[in-house]
Amino acid sequence: MSVNTNDKKVDAKRRLLLAGCAAGGLGVMAIAVAQPKDRVIKVTAKRFDFSPSVIPLKRGVPVTLELTSLDIPMGFNAPDFGVRADMLPGKVTKLRFIPDKTGEFTFYCDIFCGSGHESMSGSLVVT
């Protein structure tokens, strides 16, 4: 998660600069550039768990999930946001979306993976 930490630092600097620009009469430009930067979160799957199983997100902040499986093919499906992607061993699949509502939403494995498949799910907690 060090990437995220660095991103936050960069974001903080950028906001300061943009705030300065806005103070100088470039407010429109500031708004255009100050779009929140993607968060990147690595999610792994293995029979029959996701890690992390609870993923905190911010409404309106784009997130890119980097999905991979540690054993067999799985699926990541978050129907409340209309997104899904395969989670394959030895490969990272990027899934980008912007949470547009707050609350707790289920994501689940949508590729039948064995005896524990039906309990393989997690939560997106959007604040």
Partner 1 sequence: MGNDSSNDTNNDMNNGINNDPGNGVDRRGFLRLAGLGGVIFASGLSGWAAAADSMGVAGAEDFFFVQLSDSHWGFEGDVNPDAKGTLQKAVATVNSLEQVPDFIVFTGDLTHTTDDPRERRQRLAQFRDIVAALKVKTVYYMPGEHDAALDNGKAYQEFFGKTHYTFDHKGVHFIVLDNVSDPAARIGDEQLAWLAADLKQQPADARIVVFTHRPLFDLYPQWDWATRDGAKAVELLMPYSNVTVFYGHIHQENHHMTGHIAHHSAKSLIFPLPAPGSQPKRTPLAWDAAHPYQGLGVRTVKPEPRPRNTEYTLNELAVGAAKS
Residues making contact with partner 1 (CB under 8 A): 73, 75, 77, 79-80, 105-106, 108, 110-115, 117-119, 121
CB of 127 to partner 1, least distance (A): 18
35 or 106, CB closer to partner 1?
106
Q: Which helix (H) or strand (E) holds 39?
A: strand 39-46
Q: Please calculate the CA angle 65-68-74 and round it to the nearest 5 degrees.
A: 105
63 or 81, CB closer to partner 1?
81
Q: How far apart are CA 59 and CA 33, in angstroms?
A: 18
CB of 69 to partner 1, least distance (A): 13
